[in-house]
Homo-oligomer: A and B are copies of this chain.
């Protein structure tokens, strides 16, 4: 493999000039630039990116830590990150945190040990406090899909409260008044926010909140099914149910059908995330779209802007939108 040294010799210039020709063309005369380019071409020269990193003390790579890559939205997220980063010639280093506190910490260490210039973190187990403590450490990071008080400027997140609001508002507008709700684990920020949005929607329509129509779920299909069964057997009637994510909605649908009820004639169902699966449920699920790809892009842009000084408009907060499909209808009577 040709090195910069050979190029400089062939072009009849110094090392420094070749380096400048690559990194800062403005500081090289046109004639020289042409000579250098020709020499590079002739030798099929490819700069050694590792050597560049060492000399420049910048690795041009950013680490991405994702909780579970096979989850419904991480693929989309990673895809957005990759697109944006690659367009600027930055490498994406990938690692998984498995929603486990120790593994997430270890993942960060691992990525950091490769001298990443920045980190994009999609993590669930590490506490806000931990992140706040490390906010000023040498490797800068953005947190994606999570809102941390005290470091909002390092967060790219979804307006979950608004999403929760929109989901319920849609049902209210259809005419529903008895609306059940299955939340995510309430200790998670997004679950709490979605739930808060639900209550705000009820309030704004003057509907009294009924504690008997709410169950705390776990964001999994099983939890959705169990919660729905419980609500159904409670005796408290309802004509619609909002689930704090699509997987629980899938479970809810099964549970509803298992009771011999039909969707949406007897009960309307709304999910959250617009995960791929939501399009395949029967009937297709009305849900709240999670702009994961765009959020991924934005996290990448944040890094490009804040770490590499590349011009970019940063949008921290994303507004989710309702996707109307077939699992909802006006209440039957």
Does A83 make an interface contact (CB < 8 A)?
yes
Say how many copies of this protein the assembly contains. 2
Interface of chain A residues 56 through 72 with chain B (CB within 8 A): 59, 61, 64, 68-72
Contact: B50 with A276, CB < 8 Å?
Answer: no
The chain B residue with its CB closest to the CB of A58 is B50
- Contact partners of A95 in chain B: CB under 8 A: 82, 86, 92
User: Closest CB-CB distance, A114 to chain B, in whole Å?
Assistant: 5
The chain B residue with its CB closest to the CB of A68 is B79
Contact: B114 with A72, CB < 8 Å?
Answer: no
User: Closest CB-CB distance, A259 to chain B, in whole Å?
Assistant: 15
Interface SS majority for chain A: mixed
Contact: A70 with B61, CB < 8 Å?
Answer: no
- Contact partners of A113 in chain B: CB under 8 A: 46-47, 49
- Contact partners of A76 in chain B: CB under 8 A: 70
Contact: A82 with B94, CB < 8 Å?
Answer: yes
Does A188 make an interface contact (CB < 8 A)?
no
Does A318 make an interface contact (CB < 8 A)?
no
User: Closest CB-CB distance, A16 to chain B, in whole Å?
Assistant: 19
Q: How far is the CA of A267 from the CA of B76 in the complex (A)?
A: 34
